[in-house]
Structure 1
Amino acid sequence: MLQESQYTEDNIRSLDWKEHIRTRPGMYIGKLGDGSSPDDGIYILIKEVLDNCIDEFVMGAGKTIEVTVKDRMVSVRDYGRGIPLGKVVEVVSRMNTGGKYDSKAFKKSVGLNGVGTKAVNALSSFFRVESVRDNQQKAAEFSAGNLTLEEELVETTKRKGTKVTFLADETIFKNYKFRNDYIVRMLKNYCYLNKGLTIIYNGEKFVSENGLKDLLQETIAEDDMIYPIIHLSGNDIEIAVTHSKTQYSEEYYSFVNGQNTTQGGTHLTAFKEAIVRTIKEFYNKNFEASDVRKSIVSAISLKVEEPVFESQTKTKLGSTDMGPDLSTVRTFVNDFIKTNLDNFLHKNPEVADALLRKILQAERERKELSGIRKLAKDRAKKASLHNKKLRDCRVHLTDAKNPRSLESTLFITEGNSASGSITKSRDVNTQAVFSLRGKPLNTYGMTKKIVYENEEFNLLQAALNIEEDYEDLRYNNIVLATDADVDGMHIRLLMITFFLQFFPELIKEGHLYILQTPLFRVRNKKKTIYCYSEQERINAIEELKPKPEITRFKGLGEISPDEFKNFIGQDIRLEPVMLDKSSSIEKLLEFFMGKNTPDRQEFIIDNLKVELDKVE
C-alpha cells in the first residue's frame, strides 16, 4: 500500500522575484536557446532593454540609441529623460515598478508589464544601470538580480539618459553566442517602425526615412516586384504591399506597438481579410482569396492601446479591441484598407492593371494544379494515417498557449539508420522526425506542380502544414540532419533549394537550420567529451591525457541512440541557414543549382573548409 505523502506548511514555498524568474525563465523570455534562433532568450534580453529606450523616443525624448555587443557583454545607451535618480535600483529590481502604469504617459507602449528589465537583471551574471538627469548620475550593479554595488549620487557633464550593461548568465544560457544578422534585423525593424530614430550598433548607423516601405525594399529586389510598393499610413496604422514575380508563397511582416509579432494574431488576420475583400470589390470579381494573396510581400504596423498578447514575449496579438471608445482591430484595419487601398488603385491604374494580371495568372496556375493537388491531398491524407516518413511530436508551434511551442522541431534526416537514432533519442513532446529516402529531387527551375507530384515533397509540405498558410506552420525549427560528408552536403543543398524555391519565408524568418553533430568522441574512464572540430579534439586530448580513447564519427548512423540524445537535447548545436536580404533568390539558385559548373566549382574550392585530411 502506498504511504500517503505529507502536505504541510513546510511544502509551501514563496519565491522572490529573482528566484521566480531564474527558476522559470521561459515564462518571461520564451525559450532559452544558444543564439542560433532569432527568438532565443539572449535576443529577448536585448529587446527588453531596447523597448524602454524606444518608449522614451516615442515620448519625444532622445532620438539616438547606442548598442554595443562585444564578447557577450551588451551595452544599451539612450538619451531620453533618464530614470528618476531616487528610483534607479527599484525600477530594475522591484516587480510592478515602472512609469508605464499611467497609461496616459505610455498609452501605446511596447512594454506595459514592468517586468522586462527585471528579467534581464535576474538572468544576468553582471548587470549595471546608470541614469543621468540634471547633471547628476546614479548607478547600481547587480549579479543574478542581487544588488552588489550602489554608487553615490555624483555630479556629471554626461548627456541625460539611461545606460544598461549586462552579461547573460552562462549557467542559464549555455554555450550561447550572439549572431550579428539577428541583432541587425531587430535593430532595423525598430528603425522602420520609428521614423527619425537613429540606432548606432557597434559603430554602424541605422535609420529609416520611409518606414515599412524601407523594410519591403530590403526584403524584395526591385526587379522582382510586379509593381512599386504601395505604402499607406494613417493614425495608428501603416501598411506596405507589393507582389513578387518569382515567389510562390505569401510573406507578411506584422508589428504591434513596435513589437515584431512573428506569430501574427488578430491584426494580421484582419489585414489579410481586408486586402482580399478590398481587391475583390475594386475589380468587382469574386476572386479566390489564395489567388489575390499568392506571392504577396507585405507589412503592417498597428498601435493598440494596452494590447493583450498571448505570451510574455509578445509574438502574437490576442486582443481584439483598439482601445477605449475605439472600434475592434478587425473593423479598424478593414476600414482603413478599404478606403485607402481602393483610393490608391483608382489613382494608379498602371498598378491596378499589373495587380489584375498577377491575380489572373495565379488563378490559371491554380486551375492547372487543381486536379493533381486533389490527388496529392488524398494521397497525403491516406499516408498520414500510417505515414512511415513522419514521427510526429505532441506540441506544435500552432499551440501558442503552450510554453514549449517555440521548441517544436522537425528533424529532416537521410536514411533509416540516422532517423532511427534520432527517433529513439528525441523528446517526443517537442521533436518530430521526417525521413528522406536517399537524395531528394533537384527542384531548381521547376514549378509548384512538382511539390504535389513528388510524394516525398508533398508529404513534407503536409507535415509542415504550409500549403495554405504560412501562419499555420507546425514546427518552429526545421533541422536538416545529414552526414557531414559529400553526400550529406549534397542533400542539404537540395533541401535548401527546395525551401528557397517554394517556401523562402521559412529561411527569411529563421526557421531552417543544419544540425551540428560531433566529429569525434574523446574519453577516458572518468569523462567523455564530444568534439565538433579539430581544435576541440586537440583541447579534449590535452584535458584527458595521457592516453584517451579517440573515436571518429563518420556518419549519424554510427552514433547510438544513447549518445545521440546528448546532441539533440539541451546542448543541441544548430547552425541557422541565413539569407542575405540583399540577395536575389533567383540569382542565388541559379549560381548553386544552375549550369555554371566551373564558377561553382571555383567558389566551393575557395570557400570550403576541409578538415578531413587533418583528422583521419
Structure 2
Amino acid sequence: MSQETKYTEDNIRSLDWKEHIRMRPGMYIGKLGDGSSADDGIYILVKEVLDNSIDEYVMGAGKNIEISIQGSKVTVRDFGRGIPLGKVVDVVSKMNTGGKYDSKAFKKSVGLNGVGTKAVNALSSFFRVESSRDGKSASAEFSQGNLEQQDFLEESSRRKGTKVSFIPDEEIFKKYKFRNEYVAKMLKYYVYLNPGLTIIFNGEKFFSENGLKDLLEDNNHQEDMLYPIIHLKGDDIEVAITHSKTQYSEEYHSFVNGQHTTQGGTHQTAFREAIVKTIREFYGKNFEASDVRKSIISAIAIKVMEPIFESQTKTKLGSTDMGGKLPTVRTYINDFLKTKLDNYLHKNPAVSDMLQRKIMQAEKERKELSGIRKLAKDRAKKSSLHNKKLRDCRIHLGDIKKENYLETTLFITEGDSASGSITKSRNVNTQAVFSLKGKPLNSFGLSKKIVYENEEFNLLQAALNIEDGIEDLRYNNIVIATDADVDGMHIRLLLITFFLQFFPELIKEGHLYILETPLFRVRNKKQTFYCYSQEEKNAAIAKLKGKPEITRFKGLGEISPNEFVHFIGDDIRLDPVMLDKEMSIEQMLEFYMGKNTPDRQKFIIENLKVELDTIEDEV
C-alpha cells in the first residue's frame, strides 16, 4: 500500500528573492536565449541597468552614459546623482526597494516596481555596484545575488554617479554571446527618445538631435520615403509619420516613458485610429482605414503617469488613461493629431496632395485585389482546416501572459524528409513547422497580387497572420531551415526576397533568421560532437584523439529526429537576417534577385565557403 504524502508546514517553502528570480527567470526577463535574438535575456539585463541611468538623465542629472561590453562583462556608468550611499546594497538586493516609489522624484519612469537591478544581480555570476556622491563612495559585490563584499570610502575623488558591472551567469544563460548590433539598436532608441543625451558604447558615440524623426530616417532609406517626415511634438507626446514608396504593410514604432513597446498596446491602437480619423476629416472623405494606413512608416512616444504594462518585460501597454486628471490615452492622442496633423496638412499642400494620391492608389489596388483576395481567403479557410503545410504549436506570440511566448518559432523548411525530422523533434508548445514543396516562386518585381495567387505564399501569409501588418504576428522567430548547399542557399534567397518585397518590417524588427545546422558529426564510443565548420571539426578530432567516426551531413533530411532535437533545442544556433544600412530595400532586391548574376554568384559562393571547403577536403 502506498504511503499517503503528508502535507505539513515542512512542505511549504518560501523562496527568497534570489531563488525565485533564478527559478523563474522568464517572469522577469522574458526568454533566455543565447544572444542571437534582440529580445534574449542578456540584452534585457543590459536594458534594466540602463533604464536607471536613463531615469537619472530624465530627472536632469547627468547628460552622459558610458557603456562597455568586453566579452561577457558589461559595465554601465552614469553621472547622475548616485544611489544614496547607505542604500547601495538594498537597492540592488531587496525586492520592492527603490527611489521610484516616491513619485515626486520619478513621475514618468519605466521601472516602477523596483525589480530591474535585483533581477540582473540574481542572474549574474558577478555583479558590482558603486555609487559616488558628496565626495564619498560606497560599493558592493555579489555573486548570484549573494553579497560577497562591501566597501565604504569617506573620501573619494570620483565623479558623482553610479557604475554597475555584471557578467550574466552561464548556469542560466548557456553559451551566450553579445551581438553589438543589437546593443547599438537599443542605444539608438534611447537617444531618439532622449534628445540631448550622449551614450558612448565601446568608444562609439550615440546622440540624436531630432528624436523620432531621426529614428525613421535611420531605419529607412531616404529614397524609399514618399514625402518628408511629418514630425510633431506636444507636452507628453511626439510622433513622426511618412509613407513608403515600396513597402506594402504598415510600420509602427511605439514607446511609453522611454520603453520600446514592441507589441504595441492602447497607445498604438489609438494612434492608428487617430491618423485615419484626422485624415478623413481633413479631406472630407470617408476613406477605408486600410487605404489610409497602407505603407505608413511611423513612430509615437508618449509619457504616462504610472503606466500599466501587460507583462513584466513591458512590451505592451495596458493603461487606458494618461494618469492623474489627464484624459484617456485615446482622447489625448486623438486631440493631439486632430490639431497638429490637420494644421501640418493645411500648411503643406504638396505633402497633402502626395498623401491623397497615395490613398487613392491604395484604394485602386485594394479594389483590383478584392476578387482574388476573396478567392484566396476561401482557399486558405478550406486548407486551414486540413493545412498539410503547417504543423502548428500550442503557444503563439499573442499569448503574452504565458511565460515562453517569446520563444514561439515557425521553421520554414523544404522537402518531406527535412520537415519530418523537425516535426518529430520539435517542442510542440512553441515550435511550428511550415513545409515548402520545392523552390518557392521568385517574387522579385511582382505585385502583392502574387501573394494571393500563389497558394504557398498565401498559406505562409495566413500561417504568420501578417496580411494587415505584423501587429498580430503569431510567431516571434521565423526561421528558414534549408540545406547548406547551393539549392538550399537559393531557397533561402527566394524566401528572403519574398519577405523583403512584401513584409520588410519582419526583417527590420528582427524576426527573420537562418537556422544553422551542423555539417559534421564526430564521435567515439564515449562522446559526440556536432560541428558547424571545418575548424570545429578539426577541434573535435583533436579532442577525441585516436580515429573517431566522422559523418558528414549532406542535407537536413539525413539528420535523424533524435539528433535534430539537439539543433533546435537549448543549443539552437540562429543567424539573424539584417538589413544593410547602405542599401535601400529596392537596391537590395535588385542585388539579390535582379539581373546582376555575377555579383549574386560571388555572394552565394562566399557564403557557401564552408560547403566548398568541405567538398575540396573530401576530394
TM-score band, normalised by the shorter chain? over 0.9
Distance (Å, rounded) in 1 between the aligned partners of 2:7 and 2:38: 43
In the alignment, is residue 162 of structure 1 matched against residue 162 of structure 2?
A: yes
Which amino acid letter does the alignment assign opposite residue 494 of structure 2? Answer: L
C-alpha contact 1:219 1:582 (8 A) present in aligned 2:
no
Distance (Å, rounded) in 2 between the aligned partners of 1:410 and 1:308: 30
Query: Match for residue 226 of structure 2?
Result: 226
Which amino acid letter does the alignment assign opposite residue 106 of structure 2? Answer: F
Query: Match for residue 481 of structure 1?
Result: 481
State how 1:187-336 maps to structure 2 within 5 Å. Answer: 187-336=187-336
Distance (Å, rounded) in 2 between the aligned partners of 1:236 and 1:609: 52
Distance (Å, rounded) in 2 between the aligned partners of 1:595 and 1:168: 47
Distance (Å, rounded) in 2 between the aligned partners of 1:171 and 1:240: 43
Which amino acid letter does the alignment assign opposite residue 57 of structure 1? Answer: Y
Query: Match for residue 612 of structure 1?
Result: 614
C-alpha contact 2:251 2:469 (8 A) present in aligned 1:
no
Which amino acid letter does the alignment assign opposite residue 397 of structure 1? Answer: L
Mean alpha-carbon deviation: is it higher for 593-602 or for 451-460?
A: 593-602
Distance (Å, rounded) in 2 between the aligned partners of 1:606 and 1:540: 25
Q: Map Cα deviations across residues 285-342 of structure 1 (whole Å, 9 max, x no partner).
A: 1111110000000000010000010111100001111101111111111111111111
SS of structure 1 residue aligned to 2:403: coil
Structure 2 length-normalised TM: 0.98
SS of structure 2 residue aligned to 1:127: strand
Query: Match for residue 94 of structure 1?
Result: 94
Distance (Å, rounded) in 1 between the aligned partners of 2:551 and 2:97: 55
SS of structure 2 residue aligned to 1:205: strand
Distance (Å, rounded) in 1 between the aligned partners of 2:327 and 2:36: 40
Query: Match for residue 64 of structure 1?
Result: 64
In the alignment, is residue 388 of structure 1 matched against residue 398 of structure 2?
A: no
C-alpha contact 2:242 2:296 (8 A) present in aligned 1:
yes
User: Which residues of structure 2 form unaligned runs of 5+?
Assistant: none
Which amino acid letter does the alignment assign opposite residue 59 of structure 2? Answer: M
SS of structure 2 residue aligned to 1:530: strand
C-alpha contact 2:247 2:502 (8 A) present in aligned 1:
yes
Distance (Å, rounded) in 2 between the aligned partners of 1:338 and 1:290: 19
C-alpha contact 2:486 2:608 (8 A) present in aligned 1:
no
Query: Match for residue 342 of structure 1?
Result: 342
Distance (Å, rounded) in 2 between the aligned partners of 1:352 and 1:3: 79
C-alpha contact 1:523 1:548 (8 A) present in aligned 2:
yes
Q: Map Cα deviations across residues 11-33 of structure 1 (whole Å, 9 max, x no partner).
A: 21111111111110000000000
Mean alpha-carbon deviation: is it higher for 521-530 or for 351-360?
A: 521-530
In the alignment, is residue 129 of structure 1 matched against residue 129 of structure 2?
A: yes
C-alpha contact 2:223 2:584 (8 A) present in aligned 1:
no
Q: What's the RMSD between the two structures over aligned residues?
A: 1.2
Which amino acid letter does the alignment assign opposite residue 378 of structure 1? Answer: D
SS of structure 1 residue aligned to 2:299: strand
Deviation at 1:6, TM superposition (A): 2.7
Q: Alignment length, in residue pairs?
A: 616
Which amino acid letter does the alignment assign opposite residue 550 of structure 2? Answer: I
State how 1:508-527 maps to structure 2 within 5 Å. Answer: 508-527=508-527
SS of structure 1 residue aligned to 2:148: strand
Deviation at 1:134, TM superposition (A): 1.3
C-alpha contact 1:304 1:322 (8 A) present in aligned 2:
yes
Q: Map Cα deviations across residues 436-469 of structure 1 (whole Å, 9 max, x no partner).
A: 0000000000000000000000000000000023
Distance (Å, rounded) in 1 between the aligned partners of 2:385 and 2:335: 44
Distance (Å, rounded) in 1 between the aligned partners of 2:103 and 2:419: 53
Distance (Å, rounded) in 2 between the aligned partners of 1:175 and 1:25: 17
Mean alpha-carbon deviation: is it higher for 590-599 or for 451-460?
A: 590-599
Which amino acid letter does the alignment assign opposite residue 453 of structure 1? Answer: E
SS of structure 1 residue aligned to 2:74: strand
Q: Map Cα deviations across residues 488-537 of structure 1 (whole Å, 9 max, x no partner).
A: 11100100000000000000100001111111112222222211111211
Query: Match for residue 149 of structure 1?
Result: 149
Change (3 A) 1:615 1:409: farther
Distance (Å, rounded) in 2 between the aligned partners of 1:355 and 1:549: 65
C-alpha contact 1:309 1:318 (8 A) present in aligned 2:
yes
Q: Map Cα deviations across residues 153-206 of structure 1 (whole Å, 9 max, x no partner).
A: 252222110000111001110111111111111000000000110000110101
Q: Map Cα deviations across residues 394-437 of structure 1 (whole Å, 9 max, x no partner).
A: 10001121111111110000000000011011111111000000
SS of structure 2 residue aligned to 1:433: strand
C-alpha contact 1:534 1:615 (8 A) present in aligned 2:
no
User: Which residues of structure 1 form unaligned runs of 5+?
Assistant: none
Deviation at 1:613, TM superposition (A): 3.4
Distance (Å, rounded) in 1 between the aligned partners of 2:228 and 2:522: 58
Query: Match for residue 439 of structure 1?
Result: 439
State the identity as a percent. Answer: 78
Deviation at 1:603, TM superposition (A): 4.3
Deviation at 1:4, TM superposition (A): 4.0
C-alpha contact 2:412 2:435 (8 A) present in aligned 1:
yes
Change (3 A) 1:333 1:458: same
Distance (Å, rounded) in 1 between the aligned partners of 2:391 and 2:598: 40
Deviation at 1:582, TM superposition (A): 4.2
Deviation at 1:7, TM superposition (A): 2.0
Query: Match for residue 448 of structure 2?
Result: 448
